[in-house]
Amino acid sequence: MAEQHRADVIVSCLHGRCPDLIPALQEEIERRGLTTEVEVVESGCRGLCAMGPVILLQPEGIFYTNVQPADVPELVEETLIKGRAVPRLTYKEPLTHKDVCYYEDIPFYNKQMRHVMHKCGMINPESIAEYIALDGYQALAKALTEMSPEEIIAEVKKSGLRGRGGAGFATGRKWESTRQAEGDVRYVVANGDEGDPGAFMNRSLMEGDPHAIIEGMVIGAYAIGAHEGFIYVRDEYPLAVRNLNMAIEQAREYGLLGEDILGTGFDFDIRIVRGAGAFVCGESSALMQSVEGKVGEPRPKHYHATERGLWDKPTALNNVETWANIPLIINNGADWFASVGTERSKGTKTFCLVGQIANTGLIEVPMGITLREIVYDIGGGIPGNGDFKAVQTGGPSGGCIPADQLDLPVDYDSLIEAGSMMGSGGMIVMDNHTCMVDIARYFLDFLKEESCGKCTPCREGIRRMLEILTRITQGEGEMADLDTLEALARTVQNASLCGLGKSAPNPVLSTLHYFRDEYVAHIEEKKCPAGVCKALIEYYIIAENCTGCGLCRRKCPQQAISGEKKEPHVIDLELCIKCGICHDVCKFDAVGVR
């Protein structure tokens, strides 16, 4: 975002997609003698993952998707020299194929409200100067020099900010209890152990704007009186660890972290702790055990972490997204923050919109937006010939919300009422090719592995529910199983020690509630309506569509398909292992599932 350049070429989501794009751009810009006029900025996630790598050209605001090194000469010639867009590279609406040239006109973005993510994809995350250029660390200076700790806590309370990790506890109240708890030593901790399958918001934030988290933590530490902080990051996210470490080093160099921050006499430093692949470590007491260098098992909560957390000292533990909201609140004021959202859920929330959806990616929306707006306006609807069936939110602790609730406002309380929860922000869209019994089985299988095994209801209850569900998906279920499932689910919900167990039955209960007919179809008709559960389906050739091209015959790993050239083929069901490859490769829709 250097001021002296005529234009910026901001490139996002290169990781793994196209390592050669930036060098190609730099080379071409140099070749055309534009080096002093145009700057190439390598930036963090801009959210539109389905179409990466993406490029935003500033100041014009032209937005290109799926850019490859081969496109670079034309891009530079047409846009940077002649000042016009390359239509081939502009964004196309996934369903209508309509051309949209400018970033601000793209529905995926203009229905969003990018507050927490506003610097992600705009700045180079490796540069503290770019963060500072966009008002970074201004909130820290304001908090430390103009506000008392009590005033900061009052402001955060007034803003109505609730925890972004899922449960939605009021952040200001948490800070207040931590500050008021007895003891001299206090800690702040950021939870970046994003373990929910189907979620990567925290990853994008840690990678794309690490300073926002650090700034929030310094302000929080000053407010509650802590001098040491920890960021717990998933081991699967090495780039997040790297960018956070780099940001911490830079902040120390600039006197924004360490001793005597900004000459105010306040000392605070941050250390990064890497997780090691345990979902339960997202749970607060397990996470703190892990930070202490122990096995990450939850503890009974006789005391809240605000009183006895890390090493039994008062601890304020917040999700990284919660921390990144703090500078916004201090800079713009609680009223500004509270002007967005619903009565009890303020501000914005990031979500990962994935699964059967046209625009997969990372989004940030105001609380209270409806699921319909998210799925159809931002997400661009369901691709192919699928029909919307459900949205799964809240990860393994959440539930599935069906089509007739598409107008549900997305906020903490409405989602809980609908039998799901906010969670950290995974939003997996499912269409009629997704079997809801299989999804419930999938989540229990996940939780069976991840249950730490300390308490019996969770350890044993999940296994028994999983056995029943597996039986149903294999066509061996009975109607009485549904009552047993429900009873077991209630027991696990009520009797488990920590949040993992208490919420583990949610996927079962919500699918039983909304999609009972699918369970019944598996049990009584021995059919899987979505065509997923292997024991209940068979592949067959639709003779009138089959041209006898022989592709499926050649691809079948079992040699189960036979037929003459240009004649309809047949599948030998005795040999078929239902791998579905014939269905994948057929170009004539001639392989059906029933």
Partner 1 sequence: MVDQHRINEIIDGYGADRMNALAILQDIQREYNYLPRKSLEWTAERLNVPVGEIYRMATFFTSFSLQPKGEYMCKVCMGTACHVLGGPRILEALERELGIKAGETTSDGKFSLEAVRCLGACALGPVMVVNEEPHGYMTPEKATNLIRKIASSDVEKVAAPQPASERASARPTVDLSGVPPAG
CB of 555 to partner 1, least distance (A): 7
Nearer to partner 1, 152 or 317 (CB): 317
Pairing of strands 570-571, 399-402: unpaired
Contact mark string toward partner 1, 107..146, x via CB under 8 A? -----------------x-x--------------------
Q: Which of 579, 588, 592, 593 binds partner 1 (CB under 8 A)?
A: 579
For residue 240, give both structure tokens.
């997040």
Burial class of residue 517 in the structure, from the number of CB atoms within 10 Å of its CB (0-12 exposed, 13-18 middle, 19+ buried): exposed
CB of 483 to partner 1, least distance (A): 27
Q: Which of 5, 157, 227, 242 binds partner 1 (CB under 8 A)?
A: 242
CB of 280 to partner 1, least distance (A): 9
Nearer to partner 1, 125 or 160 (CB): 125
- Specify the amino acid at residue 380: G
CB of 452 to partner 1, least distance (A): 8
CB of 196 to partner 1, least distance (A): 7
Nearer to partner 1, 205 or 523 (CB): 205
Nearer to partner 1, 273 or 549 (CB): 273
Contact 365/112 with Cβ under 8 angstroms?
yes
Q: Which of 368, 475, 580, 592 binds partner 1 (CB under 8 A)?
A: 580
The residue count for the chain: 594
**Cα 353 from Cα 383, distance rounded (Å):** 13
| Three-state SS letters, 194-234 | CCCCCCCHHHHHHHHCHHHHHHHHHHHHHHHCCCEEEEEEC
CB of 354 to partner 1, least distance (A): 4
Nearer to partner 1, 77 or 584 (CB): 584
Spell out the residues 6+ positions from residue 46 whose beta carbon is closer than 8 angstroms to its own: 12, 13, 54, 56, 120, 121
Per CB under 8 A, which of residues 173..232 are in contact with partner 1? Answer: 194-200, 203-204, 207
**Cα 348 from Cα 161, distance rounded (Å):** 10
Per CB under 8 A, which of residues 247..276 are in contact with partner 1? Answer: 273-276
Per CB under 8 A, which of residues 486..545 are in contact with partner 1? Answer: none
Per CB under 8 A, which of residues 34..53 are in contact with partner 1? Answer: 42, 45, 49-50, 52
Q: Which of 99, 151, 260, 449 binds partner 1 (CB under 8 A)?
A: 449
Contact 542/570 with Cβ under 8 angstroms?
no
**Three-class secondary structure of residue 34 per DSSP:** coil
DSSP 140-164: HHHHHHH--HHHHHHHHHHHT-B-T
Contact 475/522 with Cβ under 8 angstroms?
yes
Q: Is the C-alpha dihedral spanning 403, 409, 411, 417 positive or negative?
A: negative
Per CB under 8 A, which of residues 276..305 are in contact with partner 1? Answer: 276-279, 290-297
CB of 195 to partner 1, least distance (A): 7
Residue 178 Cα distances to 35, 158, 183, 317, angstroms: 52, 17, 10, 10
Pairing of strands 187-192, 315-319: parallel
Nearer to partner 1, 171 or 204 (CB): 204
Nearer to partner 1, 263 or 293 (CB): 293
Q: Is 584 in the site for partner 1 (CB under 8 A)?
A: yes
Per CB under 8 A, which of residues 62..91 are in contact with partner 1? Answer: none
CB of 412 to partner 1, least distance (A): 21
Please give the angle made by the CA atoms of 381, 387 and 392, to the nearest 5 degrees.
Answer: 75
Burial class of residue 315 in the structure, from the number of CB atoms within 10 Å of its CB (0-12 exposed, 13-18 middle, 19+ buried): buried
Burial class of residue 177 in the structure, from the number of CB atoms within 10 Å of its CB (0-12 exposed, 13-18 middle, 19+ buried): middle
CB of 463 to partner 1, least distance (A): 18
Q: Is 56 in the site for partner 1 (CB under 8 A)?
A: no
Nearer to partner 1, 159 or 191 (CB): 191
Q: Which stretch binds partner 1 (CB under 8 A): 138-146, 211-219, 428-436, 480-488?
A: 428-436
**In what helix (H) or strand (E) does residue 189 lie, and over which residues does it extend?**
strand 187-192
**Cα 70 from Cα 73, distance rounded (Å):** 7
Nearer to partner 1, 235 or 567 (CB): 235
Per CB under 8 A, which of residues 13..32 are in contact with partner 1? Answer: 13-19, 22-23
Number of residues that bind partner 1 (CB under 8 A): 76
Nearer to partner 1, 121 or 220 (CB): 121
Residue 437 Cα distances to 356, 413, 451, 553, angstroms: 17, 26, 21, 32
Nearer to partner 1, 18 or 132 (CB): 18
CB of 585 to partner 1, least distance (A): 7
Q: Which of 318, 397, 434, 473 binds partner 1 (CB under 8 A)?
A: 434
Q: Closest Cα to residue 61, out of 99, 22, 2, 8?
A: 8
Q: Which of 87, 183, 238, 300 binds partner 1 (CB under 8 A)?
A: 238
Nearer to partner 1, 223 or 421 (CB): 421
Spell out the residues 6+ positions from residue 148 whose beta carbon is closer than 8 angstroms to its own: none
Per CB under 8 A, which of residues 345..404 are in contact with partner 1? Answer: 352, 354-356, 360-362, 392, 395
